[in-house]
Structures are given as C-alpha cells and as structure tokens.
C-alpha cells in the first residue's frame, strides 16, 4: 500500500489488516513537502494490523513532515532486512526546509518480534526543528536478531542495532528491549556530539547497568556521536509502573576494562603501566568539560588499536 503526498487536509486510517510477504514495503506514506497551515496536515492512523515477513519495511514514512497521528497495537514480525522507518534525512539542505513543518506523532503499544537484518526500528525527525516531536512508548521489542556489518571491519558512525535513534526530539521511553541475539540494542546515526538522546525508563531484561552499557553504541564508542542516556531504567517489565532502578548512582562506563582493554570517555587521569600492552576497542575521548581528562602513556607501552578507531584530545595526552 502506497499513499502519495497530498497537501490538502486528509485522514489516512488503516485498521485490522494483514500485510504479509510483500516484495517491498507493506505501507509507504509520502508527506507533503510544502509549508501548510496546521489544519492542513495529514492525520495518519495505524491500528490493530499485522506486518509479517515483508522484504522491505513493514511501515516506511520517509520523510515524516506535515503529519500527526498515532500508530498503536500493531505487530511487526519476521522481516528479513529492516522493519520500521521514519527518516527525515541528515541532508543539511533538506533539514533547513523540513524544520518548519509540523510533526506530532505517537508510536505506542506495538510488538516487534523475530525480525532480522540491519535494524528493526530507525527513527529520525529533523534534528534542528522545534515544530516536530514523536513519542515512542510502551512498545515491546523482543527476540530480534540484528548483527549487520562486516566481521573484520568495525563500524564508524553507521552501526547496526535493534533501535536507531537519530534525532533528540524523539521521546523513547518505557519500552521493553530484550534482544540477546543482537549486538546492540540502541545505536545512533546522528553526527552531532553536542546532542543528547533520552532513552530512560526502559526495561532491558536486567537491572545491571554494566550489561546495558555494552548494548549501546554512542559517544562512549565513537567521539563524534551523541550520548544516549539510559539511566534510570525500569526494575521490571511493567512498563507503566514507577519502580525505577535508581538506587545506584548514574552509571559511567569504565575507560579500563578487563585488565588491559581501554577506550571510551576519559574524565580523570589514567597512566599506563610501563611495558604493558593495551587493546583499544573504542575511540579514546579525552574530555575536558566535567573534569580534566588526562592520558599518560608510559615508556614501553604498546597500544593495539582496532580498525576505524580514533582519538579526540580535549584534555591532556602525554606520551613518554
């Protein structure tokens, strides 16, 4: 099903339908590219549908502009490549045009199960827009298998993950994420290290923040990406509850891990041991905002750096 872009007032309502094994997208909705009055925006409602095994996306809205509505109580399962896309692009010229166009949308109470490929959900509104917002809440995203990438080449800024959050005007909270066969639960494609992504009050299937941190691909992995906040999380799979996992201080991934593995944000002083070999698996980001990060590389230290890994020095780097 494909709905063309119309700049007159319109209601698109799709309920109680099955979209199964299409060779491309199950539903593709195009947006009006003009600046229109608020009462001329498109209302897109999608409820109680099943999307099963489509080779393209189950739902694709690319871009989402001049649109309001809700997507609720749908099931997305068995997609082999990707499942759900709302993408307003990272093209600067288009961003200037799109940012004045209204979006007020909600994706709530949906199930995403047993999907594979590059990602399950990719959501990106226009980053610089104050007229756009999207609530992505109370969804159950479980048992998906997202590997992606090449086995010998690391991701730089295009990591594959179950959820790709690529603009900070998306309210991603109170969702159930439990995809143990996927490498990353949350990742971002936004190239803006000053931006901040909120992904709090999620249930990860665990209350261990160390395990959660290994499932996120953000500024702790690559310095030119934004930081994704996932503290506090929920204490159970009751998505509407107020039981938060906030009895411990906010978690900060360690720069030194597993004895000789280093990488990530460095907010204090770290001195390598002379003659020691260290494996570098993440960007080294020596920050100077909250604290003055210092990396002192002692004489005889060997750094084994993986491919596609960089270093950003805002504090102090000293090699002897």
Residue of 88, 102, 14 lying closest to 51 (CA atoms): 14
* Whether 178 contacts 204, CB under 8 Å: yes
pLDDT at 288: 84
Each residue's pLDDT tens digit, 2-17: 998 888 888 999 999 9
The residues near 207 (Cβ < 8 Å, ≥ 6 apart) are: 233, 235, 245
Distance CA 79, CA 202 (A): 24
pLDDT at 35: 87
**Domain final residue, candidates 218, 245, 272:** 245
Distance CA 262, CA 315 (A): 17
Q: Evaluate whether residue 154 is within a structural domain.
A: yes
Predicted TM-score of the model (pTM): 0.93
pLDDT at 13: 97
> By residue range, what is the domain housing residue 309?
256-319
The residues near 46 (Cβ < 8 Å, ≥ 6 apart) are: 14, 15, 27, 59, 69, 70, 71, 72, 74
pLDDT at 251: 84
pLDDT at 290: 65
Distance CA 275, CA 127 (A): 46
Q: Evaluate whether residue 283 is within a structural domain.
A: yes
Provide the strand spans (E) within 81-175. 84-87, 103-108, 111-113, 116-117, 119-124, 132-137, 140-142, 145-146, 161-165, 170-173
Using alpha carbons, list the distances in angstroms from residue 271 to 171, 221, 256, 268, 275. Answer: 39, 20, 11, 10, 12
Instruction: Please check whether residues 46 and 174 belong to one and the same domain.
Output: yes
Distance CA 219, CA 286 (A): 12
Q: Evaluate whether residue 50 is within a structural domain.
A: yes
Q: Evaluate whether residue 97 is within a structural domain.
A: yes
Give the total number of structural domains in the chain. Answer: 2
* Whether 274 contacts 249, CB under 8 Å: no
List the chain pLDDT tens, one digit each, 320 residues: 999 888 888 899 999 999 999 999 999 999 999 888 888 899 999 999 999 999 999 999 999 999 999 999 999 999 999 999 999 999 999 999 999 999 999 999 999 999 999 999 999 999 999 999 999 999 999 999 998 777 788 888 889 999 999 999 999 999 999 999 999 999 999 999 999 999 999 999 999 999 999 999 999 999 999 999 999 999 999 999 988 998 888 888 899 998 899 999 999 999 999 999 999 999 999 988 666 899 999 999 999 999 999 999 999 999 98
**Domain final residue, candidates 216, 245, 274:** 245
The residues near 164 (Cβ < 8 Å, ≥ 6 apart) are: 119, 121, 122, 123, 124, 187, 188, 189
Instruction: Please check whether residues 164 and 304 belong to one and the same domain.
Output: no
Overall residue count recorded for the chain in this entry: 320
Distance CA 183, CA 256 (A): 21
Helix, strand, coil shares of the chain, percent, nearest 5, are 5, 40, 55
**DSSP letter (8 states) at residue 273:** P
* Whether 173 contacts 137, CB under 8 Å: yes
Q: Evaluate whether residue 250 is within a structural domain.
A: no
pLDDT at 28: 97
244: Cα within 13 Å, side-chain hemisphere: 14
Instruction: Please check whether residues 260 and 231 belong to one and the same domain.
Output: no
């Amino acid at each position: 099903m494909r709905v063309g872009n119309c700049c007159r007032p319109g209601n698109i309502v799709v309920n109680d339908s099955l979209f199964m094994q299409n060779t491309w997208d199950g539903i593709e909705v195009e947006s009006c590219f003009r600046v229109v009055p608020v009462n001329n925006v498109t209302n897109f409602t999608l409820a109680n549908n099943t999307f099963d095994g489509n080779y393209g996306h189950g739902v694709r809205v690319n871009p989402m502009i001049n649109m309001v509505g809700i997507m609720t109580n749908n099931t997305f399962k068995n997609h082999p490549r990707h499942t759900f896309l709302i993408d307003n692009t990272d093209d600067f010229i288009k961003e200037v045009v799109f940012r004045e166009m209204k979006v007020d949308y909600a994706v709530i109470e949906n199930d995403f199960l047993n999907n594979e490929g590059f990602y399950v959900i990719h959501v990106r509104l226009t980053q610089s827009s104050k007229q756009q917002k999207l609530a992505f809440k109370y969804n159950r995203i479980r048992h998906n298998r997202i590997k992606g990438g090449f086995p010998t080449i690391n991701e730089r800024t295009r990591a594959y993950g179950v959820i790709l959050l690529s603009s900070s005007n998306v309210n991603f909270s109170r969702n159930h994420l439990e995809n143990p066969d996927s490498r990353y639960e949350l990742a971002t494609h936004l190239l803006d290290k000053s931006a901040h992504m909120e992904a709090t009050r999620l249930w990860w299937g665990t209350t261990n923040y160390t395990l959660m941190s290994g499932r996120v691909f953000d500024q702790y992995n690559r310095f030119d990406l934004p930081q994704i906040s996932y503290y506090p999380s929920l204490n159970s799979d009751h998505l509407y509850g107020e039981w938060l996992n906030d009895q411990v201080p906010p978690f900060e991934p360690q720069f030194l891990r597993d004895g000789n593995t280093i990488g990530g944000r460095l907010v204090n002083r770290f001195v390598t041991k002379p003659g020691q070999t260290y494996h570098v698996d993440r960007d080294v980001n020596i920050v100077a905002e909250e604290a003055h990060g210092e990396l002192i590389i002692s004489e005889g230290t060997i750094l084994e750096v993986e491919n596609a890994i960089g270093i950003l020095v805002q504090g102090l780097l000293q090699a002897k």
